[in-house]
Amino acid sequence: MDTMDGRREMKENITENQLDLLKKLNKELDSGAREQLQALIIQLEGELAQQRLEVSCETSESVTQLVNYDASFDGRDDELKLTYRNSSIVDANFKASNVLQSFERGEAQRDFKVYRPKRRISSEKVIALMKKDGFRPATPLELLEYYLRQLLQGVIVHWYLLVALGTVWLDRVACLILNPTCRSLLLHAFDRVWIEDCEFLAVRETKQA
SS (H, E, C) 164-203: EEEEEECCEEEEEEEECCEEEEEEEECCCEECCCEEEEEE
Is residue 137 within 8 Å of residue 126, measured between CB atoms? yes
pLDDT in tens, 4-21: 344 444 444 567 766 676
| Contact (CB, 8 A) for 90 and 73 | yes
- Can you tell me the mean pLDDT for 35-39? 65
pLDDT at 92: 85
Share of the chain above pLDDT 70, in %: 65
pLDDT band of residue 159 (cuts 50, 70, 90) is low
Q: Read off the pLDDT of residues 65-120 as tens digits, 9 standing for 90 and up.
A: 989 888 888 888 888 888 899 999 998 888 765 555 545 568 888 999 999 988 88
Q: How far apart are the C-alpha atoms of 145 and 73, rounded to whole Å? A: 10
* pLDDT given at position 112: 95
Confidence at 197, pLDDT banded by 50, 70, 90: confident
Q: Does the structure show a pLDDT above 70 at 29? A: no
Instruction: State residue 160's pLDDT score.
Output: 74
On average, the pLDDT of the chain sits at 77
pLDDT at 114: 93
pLDDT at 188 (0 to 100):
95
Least confident of 42-46, 118-122, 169-173, 189-193: 42-46
Higher per-residue pLDDT: 159 or 66? 66
| Percent of the chain predicted with pLDDT > 90 | 30
Calpha distance 142→132 (Å, rounded): 20
What pLDDT, on a 0 to 100 scale, did the predictor assign at position 22? 63
Residue 175 contacts residue 184 (beta carbons within 8 Å) = no
| Highest-pLDDT range among 30-39, 53-62, 184-193 | 184-193
